Structure 1
Amino acid sequence: MDLLHPFSNNLKLVGLLLLLILHGSLSDKNVKNSLIIVDTVEVDDNTDAVVEDEDEQDLQDQEVFNPTHEWQVVKPGQAVPAGLHMRLNLQTGKNEAKLLDEKYDTGITRKVSKSSTDSGIYTKEELKEALAKFKEEQKPKNLETVEDLKQRFRPIDILKKEFSEMNINIETDFDIMTRIINRFNHSMSTLAEKLDALYELEYYVHQVDNAQDLHKLGGLQLLINSLNSTEPSLIEHSAFVVGSALASNPNVQIQAFEGGALQKLLVILATEQSVSVKKKALYALSSLLRQFPYAQHQFLKLGGLQVLKNLFREKNGEPLFVRIITLLYDLIMETLLLYEESNIDHIEEKMQQYSQISLMGTMTEQGWCPVIINLINLPENDAREKVLKLVSVLTTVCKDEFRANHNLNSILHSFQKEYEEFVSEEQKSGETDGYFSELLSLVHEVIDKLKP
């Protein structure tokens, strides 16, 4: 037993060493798996310790965010180009960005450069490229042929039928005017309903095609017939619609003349009616006569000038005076300007028609010269302007009567002095070609024409 005691002790020692070695190897393995490697910065003893953040290192290396079609983290301080998708990732708490998808593409691709900042301001080169691309996209395509348009767009009748099947009612101007005329002509319509219909109709007939449709629908003749009404308001509004339909519309002028409009309008102006009614009748008469020499010729034959002259005796008729003067001046200028033009269609035919009209000769025969002189002292400058224009063109036939009227001469010189003061005020304010300058020139023109 004594011999084995040292050996057993040795075995125990060997076993203990083996356990220690095995325990050490396992411990080393666990330690290696639990290590975290960190960068270290050596700090001088005389300075404070500074640990640079990873984002701050990246900012020095990269100033501009380079986007892709995948979401990327936008690091603090990076310049983000305009036109990107931006979001805040709620899981990480960081901002992310990516390029726009194709369906959101605006057609302008912006280059990211050092000059591009998060302010969204484009460089000059970027703007030039964007403008060039925009102009290229705006170039007109090949014009479609008539057949292509016919295939793409369906006739209005077919569209109306399809809308009708869908319980959708679509009305053209023609349909609306038809409904209005039927309401106006209905035997059960009250005066208020008729006046309301005329008010609506006047809105539509300013358009040339609508005015011609008015005749096709029989509405023009209805309105002309209503000029014989015993109801003043109906006469007034009917004349208003007729005048609007005739304005600068030769076809409708002819149709109205053939429908007896001229005679009916002269009757209104020659009989006892209110000034408001006569104003609308005079408006319709002016629309009928302008640029229509045959109607002007018939107007003179029917004594139209005498009818207009009698209106100057009208009590409170001042609103009519300027309208009459304006009409006469315009009719005279039509003839004078015709002889100065050489490129008018059918010039010879028109000159022959106007040669049958002796408007200024008829005015002198009927004593219009003193009537015009009495109007020159109207208080409003606009009215004076129109009278002075008519006096200027009538000096060829009324010169002797104008010169013999000493009152006219004194009035013209008073106008001259008055307008010279106004022109001086205009010039002081920097206005060289003002309204009063034109009036002063017109006064000088009349004075010069009346000189011996």
Structure 2
Amino acid sequence: MSHCIGLLSIASKLNLLVLLLSAVCFCSCLSDRIPEFALTKTEESDLKEENGKESVAEDDLDPEDLEVFYPTYQWQTVRPGQAVPAGLHVRLNLQTGEREARLPDNKNEKSDMKDQKKRKRLDEMHINSNSYTSQELKEALAKMKGKEKTENTMEQKANLEDVRQRFRPIEELKKEFEELNMKIETDFEVMVKLINKFNSSTSTLDEKVAALYDLEYYVHQVDNAKDFLSLGGLQLVINGLNSTEPMLKEHAAFVLGAALSSNPKVQVEAIEGGALQKLLVILATEQPLAVKKKALFALSSMLRHFPYAQLQFLKLGGLQVLRNLFKEKGMETLYIRVVTLLYDLIVEKMLLEDSENKEDQMEEKVQQYKQVNLVPAVVEQGWCVIISNLLALPEHDTREKVLKTVRILMASCRDGYQGDYALSTTLSMLRTEYEELAAEEQREGDKDGYFKELLSSINTIIQELRAGYL
């Protein structure tokens, strides 16, 4: 028992010793940290004071009070706080760590145009480049702006003066138009005046001819031609074909042909008004070439795409009238026009018969064309030889149209062509001629030229004639 009590007393003493050692260590550590804390606080306060002084110093600087950097063509160090003008070359010297600037070298480098203008203006105002204050800079800038404003004002005045000289005021133009009392007329109103002038008994021959000349321009349009019909102008022109004055006949036929072109309504009214008979009379009687040329034009406009007129043309002996033109002297220019008309009428009927369009109106037109026996009449009246003889003409365009007509009539005229020695001779001569022309075309690089097409037509006709012999 006594032994246990002794052990407890020893343990309590050891614990007390440990507590004392811990207290001593804590005090020493605390005494070491306090000076450090005090030193740290002191340094922070000092930094705040220094930063405050610097910020105040920077805030007190006015941009206008900054020292201006005066550049030269040599590199100079830019000190802190110096204002560097625009347009300079600036670099960082890697050896010294300082910024340097200089003026651009005019010999080797292109400076900005604006900077050149600024330096020029500064030179003109005699600004001392060695030293000037912010106030002097402000005054120089004010002078520059004033000078620019003056230049702009002078330029504007010059432009305004130029505009006044080149253009007239709108008020002046309006006044002149009002004095002229100008009025824009419609085509209908113009045609009314022209018809009245042509129909007036007081109008001279020249005035009537001039009226017809102007009317021809207007009646080309389909709607104007219909208005011309409603105004009674068509019948007046048809009656003008009976005039004893060749000039009136010529221009009346010209107006009639223009109004008839591709205008079925006018075609019907014209044939009912007796235009076909009057045109055939002009072509059958002795008339100047100009009159017959315009009459043939009007006849062609009436017959195209109008089977009823074609039928009446055959009944009235129109083919015989046209055939007689080839017997008259001085009518050579009409030959190819007649052949072209016959070719167009034959092809027109063939295309319609071969058409797959089976509408009611088209069927009715086909039936009308079946009554027009144009090709048999052409063969019967000897047109095959008349047409083939035109191959002797020298014009290539004439030969082309004649060759087309001969080919389209080949089926009906083959018997006559096979016995025509003159035709065979002419075709052989033409083939030789066009072989040379086609070869020349090919040498020039034109493989599918005009003469090659003519040569092909000639060869086709020759082959068809030879096939007929077999």
TM-score bin (small chain): 0.5 to 0.7
Query: What does residue 292 of structure 2 align with?
Result: 278
Whether the 8 Å contact between 2:243 and 2:249 is mirrored in structure 1 is yes
Query: What does residue 91 of structure 1 align with?
Result: 146
Q: Are 2:267 and 1:253 equivalent residues in the alignment?
A: yes
Query: What does residue 85 of structure 2 align with?
Result: 54
Query: What does residue 409 of structure 1 align with?
Result: 424
Q: Are 2:402 and 1:347 equivalent residues in the alignment?
A: no
2:115 to 59, 76, 87: 76
Query: What does residue 440 of structure 2 align with?
Result: 425
Deviations 1:106-161 (A, max 9, x none): xxxxxxxxxxxxxxxxxxxxxxxxxxxxxxxxxxxxxxxxxxxxxxxxxxxxxxxx
d(CA) in 2 for partners of 1:366, 1:40: 112
Whether the 8 Å contact between 1:392 and 1:449 is mirrored in structure 2 is no
d(CA) in 2 for partners of 1:173, 1:343: 37
Query: What does residue 183 of structure 1 align with?
Result: 197
Q: Are 2:450 and 1:435 equivalent residues in the alignment?
A: yes
Describe the SS at the equivalent of 1:189. coil
1:364 to 353, 376, 379: 379
Letter in 2 for 1:76: D
TM-score normalised over the length of structure 1: 0.67
d(CA) in 2 for partners of 1:211, 1:279: 21
Describe the SS at the equivalent of 1:91. helix
d(CA) in 2 for partners of 1:226, 1:42: 98
Pair 1:39–1:185, CA change in 2 (3 A): closer
Q: Are 2:247 and 1:216 equivalent residues in the alignment?
A: no
Whether the 8 Å contact between 2:197 and 2:207 is mirrored in structure 1 is yes
- What 5-or-longer segments of structure 2 have no aligned partner? 1-63, 79-83, 92-112, 118-142, 150-176
Q: 393-402 or 430-439: which moved more?
A: 430-439
Pair 1:58–1:214, CA change in 2 (3 A): farther
**4+ runs of 1 displaced by more than 4 Å?**
39-43, 57-60
d(CA) in 2 for partners of 1:317, 1:40: 100
Describe the SS at the equivalent of 1:201. helix
Name the Cα RMSD after superposition: 3.3
Query: What does residue 142 of structure 1 align with?
Result: none
Pair 1:194–1:37, CA change in 2 (3 A): closer
Q: Please state how far the C-alpha of 1:59 moved relative to its aligned partner.
A: 8.9
1:4-403 correspondence to structure 2 within 5 Å: 38=67, 50=76, 54-57=85-88, 76=115, 90-91=145-146, 169-343=183-357, 345=359, 346-403=361-418
Query: What does residue 111 of structure 1 align with?
Result: none
Deviations 1:191-210 (A, max 9, x none): 00000101111111111100
TM-score normalised over the length of structure 2: 0.65
Letter in 2 for 1:423: A
Q: Please state how far the C-alpha of 1:50 moved relative to its aligned partner.
A: 3.1
d(CA) in 1 for partners of 2:210, 2:319: 34
Deviations 1:236-275 (A, max 9, x none): 1100110011111111111111111100000000011011
d(CA) in 1 for partners of 2:224, 2:86: 75
Q: Please state how far the C-alpha of 1:301 moved relative to its aligned partner.
A: 0.4
Which structure shows the higher helix fraction? Answer: 2
Q: Please state how far the C-alpha of 1:297 moved relative to its aligned partner.
A: 0.4
> Percent same amino acid among aligned pairs?
55
Query: What does residue 446 of structure 1 align with?
Result: 461
Describe the SS at the equivalent of 2:115. coil
Whether the 8 Å contact between 2:219 and 2:225 is mirrored in structure 1 is yes
d(CA) in 2 for partners of 1:352, 1:306: 25
Describe the SS at the equivalent of 1:416. helix
Q: Please state how far the C-alpha of 1:422 moved relative to its aligned partner.
A: 1.0
